[in-house]
């Protein structure tokens, strides 16, 4: 649980060497947690993702095999205990989604960022899209799966721009 967010800063990504990795620090009930998201390669981790941690165990249970295969174990920026890193996946119900997707027929390491934008559901069709998290209400937007845009692995920033992540505070949304 987040209690207080300190100032974000940009650091060098230890995975791809890009100079636009967001580092954020939160004070939680269990102490300080740092999170990282690289705007070049799109990989993310945080200080709870140590290799024998409960956080990593839970993440692996919820993660698709293809993404598990992309896992990288690496020290955080500035050094420290080894952490597990994964490509991020972002869902913003009113804007859309970004997620890594394998390239069909290519090798395990061949994948791209896919951006899907949210489009409004016509009012007379909204009843077909019940929102399970808010019983009695319906979704007003849906993901436009017919119009995908794909970006190279090291172009996460372009994918994020396409989604409109920069219209509001990036790090707030990404977390």
User: Interface residues with Zn ion (CB under 5 A)?
Assistant: 13, 15-16, 18, 38, 40-41
Rounded to a whole number of angstroms, the CA Rg of the chain reads: 17
Smallest distance from Zn ion to CB 165, Å: 16
Smallest distance from Zn ion to CB 14, Å: 8
Task: Kindly tell me which of 41 and 165 has the beta carbon lying closer to Zn ion.
Answer: 41
Say how far apart CA 61 and CA 74 lie, in whole Å. 20
Smallest distance from Zn ion to CB 152, Å: 13
Task: Kindly tell me which of 17 and 130 has the beta carbon lying closer to Zn ion.
Answer: 17
**Cα distances (Å, whole numbers) of residue 146 to 95, 119, 142, 143, 149:** 15, 11, 11, 9, 10
Task: Kindly tell me which of 39 and 92 has the beta carbon lying closer to Zn ion.
Answer: 39
Smallest distance from Zn ion to CB 140, Å: 35
Task: Kindly tell me which of 16 and 33 has the beta carbon lying closer to Zn ion.
Answer: 16
DSSP state of 126: G
Let me know if 18 is exposed, middle or buried by CB neighbors in 10 A (0-12, 13-18, 19+).
buried
């Amino acid at each position: 649980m987040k209690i207080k967010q300190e100032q974000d800063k940009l650091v060098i990504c230890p995975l791809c060497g890009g100079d636009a990795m967001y580092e954020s620090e939160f004070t939680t009930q269990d102490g300080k947690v740092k999170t990282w998201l690289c705007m070049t390669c799109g990989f993310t981790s945080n200080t709870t993702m140590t290799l024998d941690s409960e956080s990593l165990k839970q993440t692996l249970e919820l993660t698709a095999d293809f993404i598990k295969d992309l896992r990288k174990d690496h020290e955080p920026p500035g050094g420290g205990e080894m952490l597990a890193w994964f490509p991020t996946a972002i869902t913003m119900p009113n804007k859309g989604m970004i997620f890594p997707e394998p390239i069909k027929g290519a090798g395990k390491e061949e994948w791209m960022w896919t951006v899907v934008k949210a489009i409004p559901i016509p009012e007379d069709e909204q009843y077909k899209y019940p929102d399970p998290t808010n019983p009695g209400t319906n979704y007003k937007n849906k993901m436009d799966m017919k119009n995908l845009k794909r970006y190279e692995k090291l172009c996460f920033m372009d994918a994020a721009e396409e989604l409109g992540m920069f219209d509001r505070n990036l790090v707030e949304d990404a977390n």
